[in-house]
Structure 1
Amino acid sequence: MMMFNMWLVVMMMFIIGNMIFVSKHKHLLIVLLSLEFIVLSIFFFMLMFLNFMNNDMYMLMIFLLFSVCEGALGLSILVSMIRTHGNDYFQSFSLL
């Protein structure tokens, strides 16, 4: 019963993170935070799955490495946009 509740919490985290990612597209910072929330829910899912299968946790270290690189890249893009445009609104950017 406890394991089912943990799976339910992880799935709700993933669904809520995706809903925030899809609906809040005004600020880049909110989008980046929702992506990190999704990555955190996937990390918990992998942790429970690997623990359930009695496997080693080496793959989690690789996943954390890539998620930290993704977070650093998103933060550097955010800083670059704020320095060039002065804000992180998506409406102030031009795709042309």
Structure 2
Amino acid sequence: MYFTLPLIMFVCGLLVFSFNYYHFLITLLSLEYIVLSLFLLFFIYFILNLFDLYIIMLMLTFWVCEAVLGLSLLVNLIRGYGNDCFSSFNLLQC
């Protein structure tokens, strides 16, 4: 009963990530939505089972580092190519 909302959020995030691959920013936002649903799922699970919440702080630290890495890649792509469309990347260019 408690886990239905985070699981629906997770599936919706996976669907957006799978079918919307034209812009890098939308891909990053869908990944962050998946991370938010996982955080909610773990938080509910740990609260209901009376576990310690230190592991959630550790996971949040890694998720924030992942978000910063994605944003830095987005900034570098926009500076290098001018936009964030996947179709404009030339993979043969050095």
Q: TM-score, normalised by structure 1?
A: 0.93
- Counterpart Cα distance in 2 of 1:34 and 1:63: 18
After superposition, give the CA deviation of every residue in 1:57-91 in whole Å (9 maximum; x if it has no partner): 00000010001000000000000000000000000
Partner of 1:50: 46
1:91 to 83, 87, 90: 87
Query: Following superposition, which runs of at least 4 residues in structure 1 exceed 2 angstroms of deviation?
Result: none
User: Matched residue pairs, number?
Assistant: 92
Q: Which amino acid aligns with 1:50?
A: F
Q: Which amino acid aligns with 1:90?
A: F
CA RMSD of aligned residues (A): 0.7
- 5+ residue gaps, structure 1: none
Q: Which amino acid aligns with 1:81?
A: L
Whether 1:73 aligns to 2:64 is no
Identity %: 45
- 5+ residue gaps, structure 2: none
